[in-house]
Structure 1
C-alpha cells in the first residue's frame, strides 16, 4: 500500500472530525468522442451539476510534479484531484460503485472500504459469491452521509470516490488530505448515460475499463430494441406506473421525472403517475388513490415486498383499493451485483426486465437465460438457475444499511 502519500494529519484535526436513476435514451460507449447525455442521481444533483465543468466525463492529465507516480482527474464537481497511479487502497462511499468497480477489471482486492448500504447488497446477493473478497471489508467509517475520519484513516486510502453532492464528505476528506473524487447522476435521469460517465472516471483512475464499452453497447441495443416496440403505443396502451423509491409505514416516496424510476418507466413504455414530481418526493395514500396505478414497482432500497401490499399489512395504509394491488401487479425490482434501480453492472438486464414487466404482451424474454448469458459474457461467471432466480427474487434484507433518511440521494 502507498503509505500516507497525501495524509498530513494533525492529531487535533483528526479528533475534531471523528463524527460528524426512448430512442433518445441511447448514449455512446465509454471512451467514445461524443459527450454523454445527462442523468440525474438525486434531487440535489442538479445544483451540483451546475458547478461542474461543461464536460460530463472527467478529464485526466499527468501530474506536473510527478508524472510517473500520479495523475490528475477532474471530477464531476469540476474539481481537479491528484491521485496515485494504480491506487491499491480504494474506498467507495457511493453505494452502486463496487459493482461497477468489479466490472472494470480493476483488482477487487484493492477495494478496502465501502458504505454499509453496499455491504447489505453484497451480502444478500450473488455479488458475495462472485467476489468473496468483498464480504467483510470495512464499512464502519461511514453512516448515512457522515464519514468518521478517524476510522477511515485506519484504512489509509489512496483515493475515496464519494457522492459529489455531499459537501460535508468532501470537506472531511480534504481536511486530512485524502484525494476525494466526487460523482453523481447527471441531469435527466438517464441511467445508461450515468453509468457511462462513472465508468469513464473509474477507467482513468484505475487504468482499465474491462468490458464496460460492450456493456454500454449492450444496454443501448436493448433500449433500441424495446423502443422499437413501445414508441408506437398510444397513451391509452401504456400502463400507469408508480415506482416506489422508498416505502414504510412512516413514509411513501415516489420516483418522479428526471430520476431513475422515471427513466425506466419512460424507456419501457409506461406512464409515470408521479411525473409532476421533480426527482422524487413523499406522497400520501389519497394521492395514490387518485393516481390509481396499474403497476407498482418497489425498489430494493426498501424492505417492503409485494406481499406486504397484497396482504394490506402496512399500518395506516389501505392498499386494497389500488388497481395494481387488486390485479396482482406489484413487483419487486431485481438485485444482482447491485440494485437494478440505479446505474450498476447489471443495467442492461434492467432494460429487458422493465420492458417485460410493463408489457408482457410485447416481450417474452427468458430472464433466467438472459441473466446466465449476461453474467458469463461480462463477468465470466457461471450462474445456476437457482442463482438467477434469486436475482429476480430480491431479499428484503438487502435494504438494510441504506440509511434512507440520512442518504436521500440516489444510493
Structure 2
C-alpha cells in the first residue's frame, strides 16, 4: 500500500506541477499585464491611485499645463489642456522653444473648466489635474477610470505644495524641488527688503485683468506680491470689476495690464477703449502703464516664472530699493539653468512684451 500510494502521489504531484506551470503561468502573465499603481496624496488630502508610470495627463486649471511642462521639461505627457492656456502659447515665446506643445488637445476641457468625460476617456488620459473644489468632477473622473489630482495655488505655500505633488506624479521630485527653491530664494530676497519698503513712499498701483476693468490684483497671491513689492494696491478689496469712476478717484500712478487680455498700454495712452476716459490718470500721463511679461506662461498667474515676475514688478514699483538684480540677466540665466535654452534678443523682447511697453518709462 505504501509503495502504491507513493506512486500515486508522484503521478498526482506531476499533474499538479504541469497544471501549475501552464495555468499559473498564464495567471502570472495576466498579472503582469495589469497596470501597476501607486498612491499620491493630493493638495486636498485625498489618497489617489495613479499608474506607476503616468503617460497621459489632462490639465483643467489654466496655468498648470505650463507647470507640468516645466517640471517634466517636456510636453510629451500632456494630452489635454484648457483652451485658454493654449492662447498663451500661440504666437508667443514657447511656440519657438517647443513646437510640439501646440499639438496638445484642447477638445476635452472647456474654458469654463468643464470636462467632457467621454472625450477625455477616448483621449486615453490617465490622470486629470483639477482644482481642489471640483469634487463633482473628481467623482465623474473616477467613474470613467481617470485619476483626479487636486491642486491649490492661492498662496505661495499652496503653490509649492502642489508643485511637489506634480513632481511626485511625474517622478521628477528633484526638479520640482528646484522650482520650489527658486520661490523660497526670491521670497527671502523680497522679505529682506521689507524694512526699506515700510519707510518708502508707496505708489498707487492698479493691476487690471482685462479691458472690462476686472481686477487682477485682488486675489491672495497677487495681493501679497504687490505688498512685498512696496505698492499701495488701490483695488485690493475689489471683489471683481472696478468702475471708471473708482479708478478716477484712485488715480493710480502705475498700472499693470494682464496678459489674460490683449489690451496694451497704447490703448490707455491713446484713450481708445470705448466708454472709458484715461486721459487724466497719473499713470497714463506719466507713461507708467506696463504690459505683463509672458514666457512659458503668463507671468501674472502663479507658475514657475512667478519669482521672475515678483522681481520685475518690484523694480518698477520701487526701483531705488530693488535695484541690485537685473531682470534680463536673471531671465537669461533662468532659461539656461532650467531648460538649457539660450534666449535670443527676439526671445527676450517677446517675453518682456517690449513692443507693447516701448512707450512706457
Coarse TM-score class (shorter-chain normalised): 0.7 to 0.9
Contact 2:164 2:177 in 1 (8 A): no
1:117 aligns to what?
84
The reply on whether 1:73 has 2:40 as its aligned counterpart is yes
SS at match of 2:208: strand
**Counterpart in 1 of 2:99?**
132
Please name the residue that 2:152 is paired with.
184
The aligned counterpart of 2:141 is 173
Question: Residue 374 of structure 1: which of 328, 334, 345 is its match?
Answer: 334
**Between 366-375 and 382-391, the greater mean CA deviation after superposition:** 366-375
Pick aligned residue for 2:221 from 236, 260, 276: 260
Instruction: State the distance in 2 between where 1:263 and 1:339 align.
Output: 18
Q: TM-score, normalised by structure 2?
A: 0.82
Quote the residue 1:349 is aligned against.
308
1:208 aligns with 2:169: no
Structure 1 residue ranges without an equivalent (≥5) = 1-65, 397-411
CA distance in 1 between partners of 2:48 and 2:188 (Å): 36
Q: For each residue in 1:39-59, what CA deviation from the matched residue of structure 2 results, as whole angstroms up to 9, or x when unmatched?
A: xxxxxxxxxxxxxxxxxxxxx
Please say if residues 265 and 290 of structure 2, whose CA atoms lie closer than 8 Å, have aligned partners that are also in contact. yes
Contact 2:254 2:288 in 1 (8 A): yes
Match of 2:203 among 239, 243, 246: 239
CA drift of 1:342 comes to 1.8
Determine helix, strand or coil for the equivalent of 2:128: strand
- 2: CA distance between counterparts of 1:157 and 1:394? 38
Whether the 8 Å CA contact 2:35–2:51 is kept in 1: the answer is no
Ranges in structure 2 where 5+ consecutive residues have no aligned partner: 1-32, 357-361
Q: Which residue in the other structure is 2:235 paired with? A: 274
Find the residue that maps to 1:71 and give its secondary structure: strand
- Quote the residue 2:57 is aligned against: 90
Distance 2:217 2:305 in 1: 22
Is 1:313 paired with 2:281?
no
Equivalenced residues, count: 322
> Hey, what's the Cα distance between the residues in 1 that align with 2:226 and 2:119?
40
Distance 1:118 1:371, change over 3 A: same
2:214 counterpart SS class: strand
Following superposition, the deviation at residue 346 of structure 1 comes to 1.2
Larger radius of gyration between Structure 1 and Structure 2? 2
User: Within 1, Cα distance between the matches of 2:105 and 2:355?
Assistant: 22
Distance in 2 (alpha carbons) for counterparts of 1:77 and 1:164: 6
Q: Is the 8 A contact 1:98 1:118 kept in 2?
A: yes
1:373 Cα deviation after fit: 0.8
